[in-house]
């Protein structure tokens, strides 16, 4: 019986870890990453879809993200979604692709990132700790 409880909680641990990885992958460091914009919702024929489903995302340089939509009519919607996100990014639309230049990190931003990373890490630890305590209570009962 306790093995079933452990297996169930093991999947919860893995979900918590995956969520943590996703959260820290979306942190805006000084390096370009497709994860930064790939899940932003875009208006796509009357519904919302993540950018990764309507365009290809590349990072040809350390501080550059290039988004190439499969349908050029979606350029405006993608640009709008990026501008309206809370990422403080400035997309440049040249009619074919959208380029996003990421500025270098300031010392203030680095300190803020360390603080945010600490919060996300603590949230993940608390989630795992809570699952572990629930498993222990189930085993004892």
Q: pLDDT tens for residues 24-60?
A: 877 766 677 888 888 889 988 888 999 999 999 999 9
The count of structural domains within the chain is 2
* 88 pLDDT tier (thresholds 50, 70, 90): confident
Quick one: 98 and 36 in the same domain?
A: yes
pLDDT of residue 130: 92
pLDDT of residue 140: 84
Examine the pLDDT at 6 and tell me if it is beyond 90.
Answer: no
The tens digit of pLDDT for each residue in 96-137 reads 999 998 877 788 878 888 888 899 899 999 999 998 898 888
Quick one: 40 and 24 in the same domain?
A: no
Quick one: 85 and 132 in the same domain?
A: no
Q: What's the chain's Rg over C-alpha atoms?
A: 20
> With the C-alpha atoms ordered 21, 22, 23, 24, is the resulting torsion angle positive or negative?
positive
Quote the domain boundaries for residue 63.
31-104
pLDDT of residue 28: 64
What predicted TM-score, i.e. pTM, was given to this entire model?
A: 0.65
pLDDT of residue 108: 84
Quick one: 120 and 139 in the same domain?
A: yes
Quick one: 36 and 92 in the same domain?
A: yes
Quick one: 51 and 78 in the same domain?
A: yes
Quick one: 40 and 74 in the same domain?
A: yes
Residue 39 Cα to chain centre, angstroms: 7
Residue 49 sits in a domain whose CATH number is 3.30.1360.40
Quick one: 95 and 125 in the same domain?
A: no
Quick one: 78 and 122 in the same domain?
A: no
* Start-to-end CA span in the chain (Å): 11
């Amino acid at each position: 019986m306790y093995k079933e409880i452990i297996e169930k909680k093991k999947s919860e641990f893995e979900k918590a870890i995956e969520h943590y990885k996703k959260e820290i992958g979306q942190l805006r460091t000084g390096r370009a990453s497709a994860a930064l914009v790939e899940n932003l919702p875009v208006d796509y024929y009357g519904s919302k879809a993540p950018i990764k489903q309507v365009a290809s995302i590349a990072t040809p340089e350390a501080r550059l993200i290039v988004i190439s939509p499969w349908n050029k009519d979606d350029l405006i919607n993608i640009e709008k979604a990026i501008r309206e996100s809370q990422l403080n990014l400035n997309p440049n639309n040249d009619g074919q692709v959208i380029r996003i230049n990421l500025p270098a990190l300031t010392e203030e931003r680095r300190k803020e990132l360390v603080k945010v990373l600490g919060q996300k890490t603590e949230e993940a630890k608390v989630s795992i700790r809570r699952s572990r305590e629930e498993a222990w209570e189930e085993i004892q009962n």
